[in-house]
Amino acid sequence: FGRATSTHAAVATSLVDAGGIDADAAAQAVVEGLLLARYRYGVLKKDAAMAPLERLALVTPAAKAERATTGARRGVVLARSASLARDLANTPPGHLTASRLAELAVTVGEASGLTVEVFDAADLRDMGCGGLLGVNAGSQEPPRLVKLSYRPKRARGHLAMVGKGVMYDSGGISLKPTDPMHAAMKMDMSGAAAVLSSMAALAGLGCRADVTGYLLCTDNMPSGSAMKLGDVLTVHGGTTVEVHNTDAEGRLLLADGLALAAEETPDAIVDIATLTGACLVALGPGVAGVLGNEQTWVEQVTAAATRTDEPVWQLPLEKRRYRKLLDSDIADVKNVGGPYGGAITAAVFLSEFVGDVPWAHLDIAGPMKVDTDEAWRSKGATGFGTRLLVDLAMSFTPPAATNGDGANRTST
């Protein structure tokens, strides 16, 4: 419907009035789907691919008009947040550096009722964020850590979100092997884009949870100063990490972000990252992987994914079997665990930095982009995870405490 009307500036449709579908939900679905499907990244083109949508009329019985209006407004907010994430991920890497993203986060955050703090390289050294600094070592562009805080009155719980923001990932010294891989790596900051864009929607939707977001931003480049295989980094909190592959960089900066988030003892943490090609191989391009240390929390994430049509599939956090693959002879842990089970070993690595806080990890390497139009996903960056995170925050319930024997925990 959205693409079929793409040449029209004014569109009208009747809302479905059958099968018990609520006018609120129907209006949201129509508006959200229409705007998402019409999306195109066209800021660098002379001619727009689609006519700007100036007017959308939804026809519904008068008795349902108020609820339909509420749903339509919600659909606009959600579609705009996903479109912001798409814009950020589609932007060429020469146009969007870590420092530029931090500037945009300040502008977007302050306009959205968020408190925004930006930390530069000197701050990161003082904070002991050796993972982010290590990844940044080969770059001429300085790193940034952005902290976003949303604090409503009478909050019901505290949720932390951590997003991987690798603005361009060459692989570093472990250089990626093909041009198509390199061409897509401007999207390696899709996790950070999803966190920023989702948090920008919270005030407008009346979210009742405290939410703190962390954007870990840098590019990963080869140079004479780049981190090397065999280097040992000390991440926030003091854990030492031996680098066995510089293209396994996302987990290094996420270690800093997760450790910082856990220090504030939120009720739960979710991280989102284009982390492993292994997850793409395992689940294909349409489904994200989810792993975590608390099953009730993973189930909240999965439920939000189902409601937003941003599908996830749970993989096992097999620490008992796989943690030994990360053993290092000279450091506390190494950053890769061998050729097999890469999505799982990456998550096992991340679990080292969350302590006892309920945590879920979203590996969105597969659905970060599509090569052709598909349902509501337009060719290019999908903004995957943005609406999922909004739904998760809006419906957030602090995960139930375990009974002391790990009954709610996934495999350790």
| Enzyme catalytic residues | 176, 251
Backbone angles phi, psi at 345, to 5 degrees: -65, -30
Confirm if 187 and 369 have CB atoms less than 8 A apart.
Answer: yes
What is the 3-state composition of the chain as percent helix, strand, coil, each rounded to the nearest 5? Answer: 40, 20, 45
**Measured distance CA(207)–CA(155) in Å, rounded:** 9
Burial of 107 (0-12, 13-18, 19+ CB in 10 A): exposed
Backbone angles phi, psi at 383, to 5 degrees: 70, 20
Per DSSP, what are the bridge partners of residue 376? none
Helices (H) and strands (E) in the chain, counts: 14, 15
149 sits in which H/E element:
strand 144-150
CA angle 140, 190, 82 (to 5 degrees): 135
For residue 362, give the nearest of 269, 284, 295 by alpha carbon.
269
Per DSSP, what are the bridge partners of residue 213? 148, 161
**Measured distance CA(80)–CA(77) in Å, rounded:** 5
For residue 87, give the nearest of 190, 205, 220, 202 by alpha carbon.
190
Burial of 285 (0-12, 13-18, 19+ CB in 10 A): middle
**Measured distance CA(49)–CA(316) in Å, rounded:** 43
180 sits in which H/E element:
helix 179-184
Spacing of C-alpha 2 from chain mean position: 25
Confirm if 346 and 275 have CB atoms less than 8 A apart.
Answer: yes
- CA dist 339 to 2, 278, 281, Å? 43, 9, 13
Answer positive or negative: Cα dihedral of 15, 17, 18, 19.
positive
